[in-house]
């Protein structure tokens, strides 16, 4: 596992957002993927995929290896501690919870952070790993965080809308 | 053999949030009746309303109940098989989540009780929710008790299906 402190890593923050985050979460959930897999499942244009993958490989967040005629992409089990962004306090971001981290930019995420503060949002991101791996329920999450289930379901709904293919692959791979 | 759909808060909230409450209503009105335990109403309507959530989401969901698209039904725990199923699912969730049994709350278990009660009557049951942990526990307990006739539908997958049909 790669674990790095936030100092001097600010340039990585954009890769934890939007389509880069979707690619990281998708490849991590799938284990290995080709650009074509990413295009088909995430619906990202080919040219954007090449550009984003180049950036991810350059920063060490993904690796690319030629297998036969295709490049196989992998994502190492990284872990970055991110502090004090607009909607989130100190938070450990991994490929498994990166979509929960990115949901801070959604309507439900912003509303949650505004109501309960960035620390609580960071707690949600930390718990999300356990939820997706089937180690907790949305009710237990709500109880643990001291919020309503309605708010948790709104967040989960937004995460699923960010990249439904990633969530479904994640759930299948946990089942194995 | 009739049938019943039992819906969870996750389905109603996600369908409203992603603007497919209309298609969901049509889906739920088709073929078999849709029911939910009281806790689902509290989670989707009473609690968000009391907390003053902006927008009209709780009111839109409330209309599903007032128009009888979803009927609220109290689970009956008097049947020993129903209460035993609920206890086993509660223990399973608590064990896998590493929580004390009393922390496993009502709503999930109300869904389980309704499902077990209808399945025991020989009816086909479609249970619609999202939580993987509940799914794993319920599937294993039902199998262990030899209760058949319960199918589990992932609420997010259903919402996705409704979305894709809307876009056709």
**Closest in B47, B107, B132 to A139, CB measured:** B107
The shortest C-alpha distance from B155 to chain A (Å) reads 10
Give the A:B interface size as CB pairs under 8 Å: 85
pLDDT score, position A171:
54
pLDDT score, position A10:
64
Read off φ and ψ for residue A109, nearest 5 degrees: -65, -45
Name B77's bridge partners. Answer: none
- pLDDT tens-digit map of A121-145: 999 999 998 898 889 999 999 999 9
- pLDDT tens-digit map of B72-111: 999 998 989 999 999 999 999 999 999 888 878 776 799 9
B91 vs A6, higher pLDDT: B91
- pLDDT tens-digit map of A155-176: 999 998 877 666 566 555 544 3
When mean pLDDT is compared across A100-109, B101-110, B124-133, the lowest value belongs to: B101-110
pLDDT score, position B167:
63
Burial label, A74 (beta-carbon count in 10 A; 0-12, 13-18, 19+):
middle
User: pTM for the whole thing?
Assistant: 0.87
pLDDT score, position B152:
95
pLDDT score, position B62:
95
pLDDT score, position A137:
93
Chain A residues within an 8 Å CB radius of B48 = 148, 150
pLDDT score, position A29:
87
CB–CB of A164 and B44 under 8 A?
Answer: no
CB of A43 within 8 Å of a chain B CB? The answer is: no
A5 vs A116, higher pLDDT: A116
Integer Cα distance of A91 and A88 in angstroms: 7
CB contact at 8 A, A77 and A71: no
> What count of other Cβ atoms lies within 10 Å of the Cβ of residue A91?
23
C-alpha distances out from residue B149 to B47, B84, B86, Å: 33, 18, 17
CB–CB of A156 and B14 under 8 A?
Answer: yes
Mean pLDDT, residues B14-30: 93
Q: What is the mean pLDDT of chain B?
A: 90
Beta strands in B13-149 (DSSP E): 33-36, 70-72, 124-129
Chain B residues within an 8 Å CB radius of A148 = 43, 47-48, 51
CB–CB of B99 and A164 under 8 A?
Answer: no
| Cα angle B37-A109-B63, degrees, rounded to a multiple of 5 | 35
pLDDT score, position A172:
54
Query: Does the structure show a pLDDT above 90 at B131?
Result: yes
Chain A residue with CA closest to B45: the answer is: A150
**Closest in A139, A153, A175 to B13, CB measured:** A153
Q: Note which residues in 91-130 of chain B have CB less than 8 A from chain A.
A: 93, 96-99, 103-105, 107-108, 130
Integer Cα distance of B152 and A71 in angstroms: 38
CB of A108 within 8 Å of a chain B CB? The answer is: yes
pLDDT score, position A7:
46
**Closest in A108, A143, A157 to B105, CB measured:** A143
Chain B residues within an 8 Å CB radius of A168 = 157
pLDDT score, position B53:
75
pLDDT score, position A160:
85
CB contact at 8 A, A47 and A24: no
Contacts with B116 (C-beta within 8 Å, 6 or more apart), sequence order: B79, B81, B82, B85, B86, B142, B147
The shortest C-alpha distance from B82 to chain A (Å) reads 21
**Closest in A133, A135, A154 to B13, CB measured:** A154
Q: How confident is the model at residue B7 (pLDDT cuts 50, 70, 90)?
A: very high
- pLDDT tens-digit map of B53-74: 766 788 899 999 999 999 999 9
Mutate to test the interface with A, among B45, B46, B97, B161 (most CBs of A within 10 A): B97
pLDDT score, position A14:
73
Grouping H, G, I as helix, E, B as strand and the rest as coil, residue B35 is strand
Q: Which residue has the tokens 């008790």?
A: B145
pLDDT score, position A80:
84
CATH of domain B3-163: 3.40.50.1010
Mean pLDDT, residues A95-116: 90
ipTM (interface predicted TM): 0.92
DSSP string, A45-106: -HHHHHHHHHHHHHTTS-EEEEETTEEEEE----EEEE---SS--SEEE-TTTHHHHHGGGS
C-alpha distances out from residue B13 to B16, B64, B103, Å: 5, 12, 23
Percent of chain A with pLDDT over 70: 84
Furthest C-alpha separation in chain B: 47
Query: Does the structure show a pLDDT above 80 at A89?
Result: no
CB–CB of B9 and A143 under 8 A?
Answer: no
Query: Does the structure show a pLDDT above 70 at A36?
Result: yes
> What count of other Cβ atoms lies within 10 Å of the Cβ of residue A72?
17
Rounded to the nearest angstrom, the gap between the alpha carbon of residue A28 and the centroid of all alpha carbons in its chain is 9
């Amino acid at each position: 596992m790669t674990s790095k402190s936030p100092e001097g890593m600010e340039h990585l923050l954009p890769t934890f957002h939007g389509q880069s985050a979707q690619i990281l979460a998708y490849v991590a959930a799938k284990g290995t993927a080709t650009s074509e897999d990413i295009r088909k499942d995430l619906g990202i244009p080919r040219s954007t995929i090449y550009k984003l993958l180049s950036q991810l490989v350059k920063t060490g967040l993904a690796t690319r290896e030629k297998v036969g005629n295709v490049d196989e992409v992998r994502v190492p089990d990284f872990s970055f501690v991110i502090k004090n962004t607009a909607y989130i306090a100190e938070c450990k971001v991994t490929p498994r919870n990166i979509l929960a981290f990115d949901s801070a930019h959604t309507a439900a995420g912003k509303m949650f952070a505004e109501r309960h503060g960035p620390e609580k949002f960071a707690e949600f991101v930390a718990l999300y790993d356990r939820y997706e791996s089937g180690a907790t329920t949305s009710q237990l999450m709500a109880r643990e965080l001291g919020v309503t289930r309605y708010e948790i379901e709104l967040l989960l709904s937004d995460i699923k809308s960010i990249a439904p293919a990633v969530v479904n692959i994640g759930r299948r791979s946990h089942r194995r | 053999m009739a049938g019943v759909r039992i819906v969870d808060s996750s389905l109603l909230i996600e369908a409203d949030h992603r603007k497919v409450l209309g298609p969901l209503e049509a889906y739920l009105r088709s073929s078999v009746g849709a029911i939910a335990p009281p806790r689902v109403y509290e989670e989707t309507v009473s609690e968000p309303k009391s907390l003053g959530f902006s927008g009209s989401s709780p009111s839109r969901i409330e209309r599903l109940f007032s128009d009888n698209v979803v009927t609220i039904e109290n689970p009956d725990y008097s049947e020993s098989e129903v209460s035993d199923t609920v206890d086993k699912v509660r223990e399973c969730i608590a064990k896998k989540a590493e929580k004390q049994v009393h922390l496993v709350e009502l709503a999930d278990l109300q869904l389980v009780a309704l499902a077990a009660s209808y399945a025991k009557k020989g009816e086909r049951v479609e249970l619609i929710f999202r939580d993987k942990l509940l799914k794993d526990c319920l599937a294993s307990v039902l199998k262990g008790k030899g209760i058949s006739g319960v199918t589990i539908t992932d609420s997010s997958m259903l919402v996705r299906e409704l979305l894709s049909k809307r876009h056709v």
